[in-house]
Amino acid sequence: MKRAAVLVYGFACYGIFFATFLYSIGFIGNLAVPKSVDSGPAVDWSLAVAVNLALLGVFALQHSVMARPFFKRWITRSIPQPAERPTYVLASSAALALLYWGWEPLPELVFSVQSEMLRSALTALFFGGVGLVLYSTFLIDHFDLFGLRQVILYFQDRPYTEKNFVTPSLYRYIRHPLYVGWFVTFWATPDMSVGHLLLALGTTAYILVAIVFEERDLGELLGSDYREYRERTPKFVPRVRNRSSEQPVTLESAV
């Protein structure tokens, strides 16, 4: 019964995550959702900035603290180990839902692209960023990243083993294609409002800070293999090099 409950819990958390992710596309892109980054009545700008920064802070705090090894050790004293990752996913989805619900629009435009061709190109780039995010999760191991592998193995009474450190596809050239996808998603818009700019700046700043702690944890977890990978592979922009100089690499994981 306990194993079945953990399995159902894991799939429920994943379903909530995926619904939240789909809503994120509409929220950021101002597309067919009840509440987007620029929709709703405007309030005093100082109140809007304060509320929005607080919401971004809640997400950043939840996302960072719950990803750290000390928190994982603490929470698994109270819940089964396989439920830890789904719980993180659920909490992240809740923090995002709170941000979407409480976000105060700042609709004044910073810029608006008038060319239909450029508008279409920026919209396509936005969806390209969304696609890159999803693609990168599958390169890492989508179902392990979001906790499904853990609960399925637990239900089958099979031991969980950490994924081997590999660097497939894009990870051979840059360390963080998933974050590049988020950068593109947040910044590629034909109509940049003050509110959208605040969201893009806040999430970008958070990612840049979070990478420092993530890579530190990966270095401690994976040892010299990851540290060598980090030394030879740029974060976001691939180096131009001769194919003959490329060396096979053997690893990627996500904390």
Task: Tell me what pLDDT residue 241 has.
Answer: 64
- Residue 33 belongs to some domain of the structure: yes
Q: Please measure the distance between the N-terminal and C-terminal CA atoms of the chain and give it in whole angstroms.
A: 29
pLDDT tens readout for residues 27-37:
999 999 999 99
Handedness of CA 161, 164, 170, 173 (dihedral sign): positive
Q: Map tokens 């809740």 to a residue.
A: 94
- Residue 71 belongs to some domain of the structure: yes
Structural domains in the chain (count): 1
Bridge-partner residues for 192, per DSSP? 111
> Is 7 in contact with 152 (CB distance < 8 Å)?
yes
pLDDT tens readout for residues 240-254:
765 444 443 333 333
Task: Tell me what pLDDT residue 255 has.
Answer: 38
- Residue 224 belongs to some domain of the structure: yes
* Total-model pTM: 0.88
- Residue 220 belongs to some domain of the structure: yes
CATH number of residue 21's parent domain: 1.20.120
Structural domain range at position 27 = 2-242
Integer Cα distance of 153 and 76 in angstroms? 17
Torsion-angle region of 167 (φ positive above 0: left; ψ -120 to 50: alpha; else: beta): beta
> Is 68 in contact with 7 (CB distance < 8 Å)?
no
- Residue 57 belongs to some domain of the structure: yes
Q: What phi, psi does 112 have (nearest 5°)?
A: -140, 120
- Residue 169 belongs to some domain of the structure: yes
Radius of gyration for the chain, computed over Cα atoms and rounded to the nearest angstrom: 20
- Residue 248 belongs to some domain of the structure: no
Task: Tell me what pLDDT residue 13 has.
Answer: 98
Q: DSSP letter at 227?
A: H
- Residue 99 belongs to some domain of the structure: yes
pLDDT in tens, the chain (255 residues): 799 999 999 999 999 999 999 999 999 999 999 999 999 888 899 999 999 999 999 999 999 899 888 999 999 999 999 999 999 999 999 999 999 999 999 999 999 999 999 999 999 999 999 999 999 999 989 999 999 999 999 999 999 988 778 888 899 999 999 999 999 999 999 999 999 999 999 999 999 999 998 899 888 888 888 889 999 999 999 987 654 444 433 333 333
Task: Tell me what pLDDT residue 162 has.
Answer: 81
Task: Tell me what pLDDT residue 161 has.
Answer: 87
Return the H-helix or E-strand segment holding 86.
helix 84-102
